[in-house]
Chain A
Amino acid sequence: MEFPYLTLITFIPLLGAVVVLLIPRKYEREMKRLAVALSLIPLVLAAILWLNYDYGAGTMQFLEEYTWIPTINVRYRVGVDGISLPLVFLNSLLTTLSLFYSSHTIKERVKEYFAFFFLLEMGMMGVFVSLDFFLFYVFWEVGLVPMYFLIGVWGGPRRQYAAIKFFLYTLAGSVLMLLAFLGMYFAEGTFDILEMARLRPFADNFTLQSLAFWGIFAAFAIKLPLWPFHTWLPDAHVEAPTAGSVMLAGVLLKLGAYGFIRVLLPIFPQAFHHYAPIIAILALLSIVYGALVAMAQWDLKKLVAYSSVNHMGYVMLGLTAAASAIGTSEKVFDSQAMALNGAVLQMFNHGIITGGLFFLVGVIYERAHIRDLKSFGGLGVIMRTYYGITTVTCLASLGLPGLAGFISEFLVFRGALSIITPIAAIAVSGLVITAAMFLWKVVQLIFFGPLNEKWANLPDMHRWEVITVAPLLFFMVLFGLYPTPILNLINGAVVKLLSGL
């Protein structure tokens, strides 16, 4: 038997949660260190997987399979390919950084906080590695609960409202998805995700296919979030504690995008192709609306939250472009692959960049206890490290060449422009707006201009804060200059997926 990498990656966080809860309260310092150390194990394992993954094949690898509920043919079945592996890595990376950051900032109910964080990591990890709908759904729901508590217990002033809103919104989507999964199961007799992509349920009944498609669409679109299902996001992001926002933006939103790629595209290509125009317009609205609303914010955290709506819109644009081109002609295959590659890479990049931005928002909020952009100014003089790191991250977020964000946005647009030209052309305006927003609103308002005397004594970033964001900066620069390792990884799986359609 092979070494059960994926099972360990998924369930070591569960072990972490149990261990953390069992340690007596008086050993809090040791508990924090142990928690961070435990969270390193999945990260190291994910890195090992990345190094050992066979790029050429583009197939599901490191498979594990066990019988679970034979009566309804449910199996514990996990595996990763080039689409899920970067997300597995991203999830473990951001969890480790978040725990490290939180071990300095969280003062209340530390044990419970760390335990919920581990459970969150487990839930999201499970979704990325599951190859069985039942398992997928279980992990999908399991991830909801810890996030609800993280927002509700350690969040801001409106945390109670934001927590339940987040919960109800995402649950409403996921129960519809469950019904669609059940319908597919009774049609084909299996919960196997890969098998389902071969069987193509409801291929001869477009009404049923559409019903199942939209049921699943609801779950993923809410999670992504696609306009107009995004309204839970600003509330959840603003109220969540810093590390919670990082996980929310960095990984949780990816669950939706990942679902589109893993479930809807391969299983319902016909319906996806048919409804692509509608979805493309929703993606466009997310891009433009997200950018404009972000631009209108004076709360720094809200601004970053809305910029996520914009950035995830690019993912959706790439995906829809790929779906639009299904069955048209062989010539667009390259564009299709480019758009989808861009979408997957954008998921990873958005994770590290926006994750970084939320950490940086946390840094200033911890010091000033406000996030109102109008009240800052001139901080560039006194907080030099913070100034530098924030500027680089903002530039990465707006897509400056040389940093990670550029590569994925370029690929998305390059692919989409030759498939859904008019929509992609309008969507480019989103890039302009975000550029203006990050440069003017964030960099200029916070760091330039006369120094507001009130903040003259703000200390620069502590060493642990720099350590938290340094790995993210590293990946922004690395994949901005040399994206080959990650693009090769993604491309194999993307080409395999597209050629199966």
Chain B
Amino acid sequence: MPGFENLPLLSPEITLTIFALLVLGLDLAFKRLKDALAYVAIGGLILAIMLTAHLFGTQGSLFSGMLVVDSFALYFKIIACLTTGLVILSSIAFMKEKTPYRGEFYGLLLLATLAITLLVGASDLVMIYLSFEFVSLTCYVLVGYLRGDPKSSEAGIKYFLYGAVTSAVMLYGMSLIYGITGSTQLTVIADNFLSPSSPVASTRWLILPAVLFILAGFGFKIALVPFHQWAPDAYEGAPTPIAAFLSVGPKAAGFAVLIRVLLTALPAYQIDWIALLSGISLVSMTFGNLVAIQQTNIKRMLAYSSIAQVGYILLGVVAAGPGTVGIMGVLLFILAYLFTNLGAFVAVVAFSYATGSDEIADYAGLLRRAPLLAAALVVFFMSLAGMPPTAGFLGKLFVFGAVIQMGQKVFYFLAVAGVLNSVISLYYYFNVVRLMFFLPAKDETSLQIPRSLVVAVAITMAMTLVMGFYPQPFIDLATRSVVTVAMLSPQ
């Protein structure tokens, strides 16, 4: 069968599909299995990661150029599976308290992961749109999963309305691109823009609005200002593990597809999108940080903090010039951000599991009540603020390095704005540290934290520190994944 000889390239996706169905089926068949299903799901994810790692370095195209498999996509597939694995680990105890429908929950998470793995490999506008919607749909359900909790339902509806509008706008932008170039294939689009004989010239003015419309969709997924308004409400209302998932998984996927579209299809318009993204990045990090200062709920604070974080990541995309470490910076930053931000969220899950509160004020005196949790949070906050010796420092080093490498005044300004933003962010991150360490607790009882959460915190904290102390293997991995960005095109 033509088009199917490359099927082994899809082994991670196939694995995820099988395990998602397996989890759903087992849930239906054996009523008492609920929590064991989490481990089945984690097993599936580990298998998928191993298969992805095995594929690393191969290159191929599937379904007449709808999907590509390259190291860049594989890197993001590993990120997606890692994220979901950690999220599931942190959900086990938490969801047990909140809902009886846990089988479907894990099944949906696996499907969301599958959607992300498809999105990061999509190389055709149609495929991008379809997998994009697939990610969104699973996420809408997960955000509104706690049906009995009005906040969760409200968050789900808000997220859905926002997502529906932006994806419609994005689809319109895609149709414009198709209209101009006559193709939905990213490489063909690029060729049409670049060749002087193409009929594009007369409709060139349409390109900027088209890019803007598409950016609305990606911006929504990544939660960039001005498409960010859903994020704080969704994070606050969603079950906390899902907020953790939203803050990493779909965002990473959004960046993957953003980079692929910009670098594969639109290199001819690099100057335009660099200007556009520079502005968005500056606004995102500044706005996110300034608003985060005023938050009293830790999930909302982390939501705004993640809006600021994507501003930094975007700097790496802006600085994706020839010969710079921009894209490598983005890859490293996202990996660092995965461990750090998930770690922070897992700690929040642990705290909220033990106390039932998400208020920042209730973190007072945490040092006495759960010293290791407090220490872990300090590491995560240091990493989020980009301080050595943590993973976050490594990510920022490369991203800001790439911006400096561009070597123009505008970029120096962007870099200075970026680092000053991380100083601002330190203020609210360490405000929580201040409460935990400097103030007495209202209630001195020590917190009971379930083992699965302890494991999740330990893994994320260890990785945050390992990436800071011994970054070479991670840099190697990112370098190998970037190499193929230059030749993204499926032939």
Contact = CB atoms under 8 A, between A and B. Distances in A.
A455 interface: no
A145 B472 contact: no
A170 B412 CA distance: 21
Contacts of B210: none
Interface stretch (B13-21, B195-203, B423-431): B423-431
Contact of A141 (B387, B420, B472, B476): B387
Identify the interface centre among A145, A168, A171: most chain B CB within 10 Å of its CB.
A171
Given A142-B388, A175-B422, A183 B437 contact: no
A329 interface: no
Contacts of A457: none
B294 to A, nearest CB: 16
Interface stretch (A43-51, A96-104, A158-166, A472-480): A158-166
Interface string B270-300: 0000000000000000000000000000000
B419 A178 contact: yes
23 contacts: A69-B472, A72-B475, A138-B388, A141-B387, A145-B382, A145-B387, A148-B430, A152-B438, A163-B434, A164-B427, A175-B419, A175-B423, A176-B416, A176-B419, A179-B404, A179-B412, A179-B415, A179-B416, A182-B397, A182-B400, A185-B401, A186-B401, A186-B404
Given A142-B388, A182-B397, A172 B434 contact: no
Interface residues of A, number: 32
B420 A71 contact: no
B419 A168 contact: no
A114 B378 CA distance: 18
Interface residues of B, number: 31
Interface string B364-389: 00000000000000100010000111
A152 B401 contact: no
A172 B476 CA distance: 31
Given A138-B389, A178-B419, A179-B415, A167 B430 contact: yes
A149 interface: yes
A56 interface: no
A273 B412 CA distance: 24
Contact of A152 (B400, B437, B472): B437
A153 interface: yes
Contacts of B438: 152-153, 159-160, 163
Nearest to A178: B419
A137 interface: yes
Give chain A's interface secondary structure class.
helix
Interface of B: 378, 382, 387-389, 393, 397, 400-401, 404-405, 407, 412, 415-416, 419-420, 422-423, 426-427, 430-431, 434, 437-438, 471-472, 475-476, 479
A195 B418 CA distance: 29
A182 B404 contact: yes
A108 B114 CA distance: 52
A70 B470 CA distance: 11
A201 to B, nearest CB: 12
A98 to B, nearest CB: 20
Contacts of B378: 145
A160 B404 CA distance: 35
Interface string A176-213: 10110011011000000000000000000000000100
Given A145-B382, A182-B397, A185-B401, A171 B389 contact: no
A164 B430 contact: yes
Interface of A: 68-72, 137-138, 141-142, 144-145, 148-149, 152-153, 159-160, 163-164, 167-168, 171-172, 175-176, 178-179, 182-183, 185-186, 211
A71 B419 contact: no
A375 B416 CA distance: 49
Contacts of A178: 397, 400, 419
B423 A171 contact: yes
Contacts of B388: 137-138, 141-142
Given A176-B416, A183-B404, A211-B412, A71 B387 contact: no
Nearest to A72: B475
Nearest to A144: B387
Given A138-B388, A145-B387, A182-B400, A71 B434 contact: no
B438 to A, nearest CB: 5
A145 B388 CA distance: 10
B416 A149 contact: no
A90 B290 CA distance: 41
B462 to A, nearest CB: 16
A457 to B, nearest CB: 33
A152 B431 CA distance: 11
Identify the interface centre among B434, B471, B472, B476: most chain A CB within 10 Å of its CB.
B434
Contacts of A183: 404
B426 A168 contact: yes
Contacts of A72: 475
Given A71-B476, A153-B437, A167 B426 contact: yes
B437 A149 contact: yes
The list of the 6 closest CB pairs from A to B, nearest first, reads A175-B419, A138-B388, A182-B401, A182-B404, A152-B438, A172-B423
Contacts of B423: 168, 171-172, 175
Contacts of A168: 423, 426-427
A152 B434 contact: yes
Given A69-B471, A160-B434, A182-B400, A175 B476 contact: no
A17 to B, nearest CB: 12
